């Protein structure tokens, strides 16, 4: 909208570009505001880092979540600040790409922004900081790849994978049983094919018993599905059965409500009814003719089909979850069919033993001793739902770590050791450059120390004393000192490689790259414009509010009588 003015006023015309009510903030205060918002998120997750980290309880209406997983916590927080949402994105990307290190990536990104805050306040341009951070990131990643320990194809490789899984579980709620679960996780990953698709590792949660009652099923296990009358008459165990996997509904369907059929005699109606029964019986007979003994379908199997199979000594289950059906196809060699025509032996699966067992208060179907098993199921036990939920998140992280270790074939020491080594390396690199970049890269080196510092603080140690000792070790002893970090279990500085605290190099590379990119993205924003709602949106919102009561029901229209056409 351009305002109209007289000739006298045209010397200094006023042009209105943005709608009235638009919020606009820019310049140095805006960058500082974004950094402060991100720092608030960091303060929430900071105390969860490490084996001695604390848990967070997040309450949303009726659901309660207790966790120390960074990605889980940040996703459950209802973050509305646009810049702070960047930290949510990097936590998600770290969880999807690597599975572990979600707290570290948020913590490191926040510290990078904190270090840049003083540069901004002193008048340094954000572009200079961004350039320095990216240069430091490149040097750090190269250094990680240079000093990482390569996993050879030898007998000790499996032990290294177990140590990586244990390192991931160190900070989890099931850390007391890390040896028990690390063996289970490595065994589960070894069962997978070369692509290491995590979706073929199922995790089932069964309340009751101890967590040590958890076990791995080399095959598929899933909870007994909804069943009709006649199900209990079916046999619950087969040896070497043929398995038919269907994506087909096996029950009588009622006609659509809007269907219209004109009949001349009652006999015509009976023919239609008989045709429906004929169709379902033809399907069932074709399934039996194929020699299948276990029939599973993603869609419902009705009471007629259930009783039909029970009378012939066969087992059936409908409404099988899609994930479990795909794992069954992978393990048994079967192919999911959408028709009962052409059920030959090559599309039917088989397994060594099928059995239905009681687990706690539930009944589970087990498919084991499959030839060429390429999928597995971890059955988690525990006394409380919250405990089992957190144990599942912990195992997910451990599985992801082992997968990455198998693919990367290289590990580094944890406990803040690699961060201290990178900090030392960058400080030495500073001597070869000059200008503002020297200050920025020095800030990057300081930010790296936030990981060992926070580990020490969360375990009750003196963080200043710990950092001084680690700097001394990394400077004096170039060979052995490279892997010195914070041993939070024993409260000391130690060689974390000899303590078997290992993690894939990809975890640290992803932490540094993702955190740096997030920090650079936030620093590159110098103006935030928030558009107001348009008049139409405001009217629609007001209309919805007026037309709906607090209980979500339409408000009765008050004060309106009913009139006839000629009424007054």
Please identify every residue annotated as catalytic: 69, 102-103, 397
What CA–CA distance (Å, rounded) separates 349 from 383? 36
Reported in sequence order, the residue ranges of 125-208 that DSSP labels E, i.e. its strands, are: 149-150, 201-207
Phi, psi of 539 (to 5 degrees): -65, -40
DSSP annotation of 53 reads P
CB neighbourhood size of 468 (10 A): 12
Phi, psi of 548 (to 5 degrees): -130, 135
CB neighbourhood size of 247 (10 A): 14
Indicate the pairing of strand 294-297 with strand 242-246. parallel
Tokens 């094919």, residue? 193
- Six-digit token pair at 151? 């996993």
CB neighbourhood size of 258 (10 A): 5
Reported in sequence order, the residue ranges of 422-496 that DSSP labels E, i.e. its strands, are: 484-487, 492-495
Angle of helix 102-121 versus helix 126-147 axis, rounded to 10: 140
Indicate the pairing of strand 63-67 with strand 353-359. unpaired
Closest alpha carbon to 67 in 40, 37, 47: 47
Angle of helix 417-430 versus helix 436-448 axis, rounded to 10: 170
């Amino acid at each position: 909208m351009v305002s109209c003015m007289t000739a006298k006023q045209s010397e200094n015309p006023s042009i209105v570009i943005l709608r009235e009510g638009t919020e606009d903030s820019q310049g140095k205060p805006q960058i500082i505001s974004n950094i402060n918002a991100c720092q608030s998120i960091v303060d929430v997750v900071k105390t969860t880092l490490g084996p001695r980290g604390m848990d967070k309880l997040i309450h949303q209406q009726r659901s309660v979540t207790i966790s120390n997983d960074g990605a889980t916590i940040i996703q459950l927080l209802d973050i509305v600040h646009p810049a702070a949402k960047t930290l949510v994105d990097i936590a998600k990307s770290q969880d999807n790409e690597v599975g572990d290190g979600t707290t570290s990536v948020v913590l490191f990104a926040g510290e990078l922004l904190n270090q840049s805050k003083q540069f901004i306040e002193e008048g340094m341009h954000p572009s200079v900081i961004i350039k320095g951070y990216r240069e430091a990131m490149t040097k750090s990643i190269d250094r990680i790849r240079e000093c990482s320990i390569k996993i050879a194809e030898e007998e000790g490789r499996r032990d290294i994978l177990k140590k990586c899984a244990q390192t991931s579980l160190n900070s989890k709620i099931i850390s007391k049983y890390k040896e028990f679960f690390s063996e289970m996780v490595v065994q589960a990953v070894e069962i997978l094919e070369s692509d290491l698709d995590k979706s073929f590792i199922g995790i089932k949660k069964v309340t009751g018993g101890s967590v040590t009652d958890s076990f791995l099923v080399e095959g598929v296990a899933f909870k007994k599905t909804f069943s009709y009358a006649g199900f209990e008459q079916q046999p619950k165990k087969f040896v070497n059965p043929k398995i038919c996997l269907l994506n087909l509904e096996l029950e009588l369907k009622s006609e659509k409500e809007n269907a219209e059929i004109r009949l001349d005699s009652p006999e015509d109606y009976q023919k239609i009814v008989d045709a429906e029964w004929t169709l379902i019986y033809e399907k069932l007979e074709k399934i039996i003719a194929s020699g299948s003994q276990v029939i599973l379908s993603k869609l419902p199997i009705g009471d007629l089909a259930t009783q039909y199979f029970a009378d012939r000594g066969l087992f059936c289950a409908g409404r099988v979850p899609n994930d479990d059906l795909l794992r069954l196809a992978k393990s048994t060699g079967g192919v999911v069919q959408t028709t009962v025509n052409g059920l030959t032996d090559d599309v039917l699966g088989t397994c060594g033993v099928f059995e239905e067992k009681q687990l706690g208060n539930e009944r589970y179907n087990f498919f084991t001793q499959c030839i060429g098993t390429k999928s597995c199921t971890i059955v988690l036990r525990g006394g409380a739902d919250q405990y089992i939920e957190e144990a599942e998140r912990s195992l997910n992280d451990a599985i992801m770590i082992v997968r990455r270790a198998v693919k990367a074939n290289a590990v580094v020491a944890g406990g803040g050791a690699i961060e201290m080594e990178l900090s030392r390396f960058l400080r030495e690199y500073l001597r070869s450059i000059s200008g503002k970049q020297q200050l920025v890269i020095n800030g990057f080196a300081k930010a790296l120390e936030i990981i060992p510092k926070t580990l020490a603080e969360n375990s009750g140690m003196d963080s200043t004393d710990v950092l001084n000792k680690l700097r001394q070790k990394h400077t004096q002893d170039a060979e052995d000192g490279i892997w010195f970090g914070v041993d939070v279990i024993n409260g000391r500085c130690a060689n974390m490689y000899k303590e078997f605290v290992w993690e894939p190099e990809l975890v640290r590379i992803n932490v540094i790259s993702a955190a740096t990119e997030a920090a650079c993205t936030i620093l590159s924003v110098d103006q935030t414009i928030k558009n107001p709602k348009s008049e139409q949106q405001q009217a629609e919102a007001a209309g919805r509010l007026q037309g709906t009561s607090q209980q979500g029901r339409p408000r009765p229209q008050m004060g309106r009588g009913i009139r006839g056409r000629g009424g007054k």
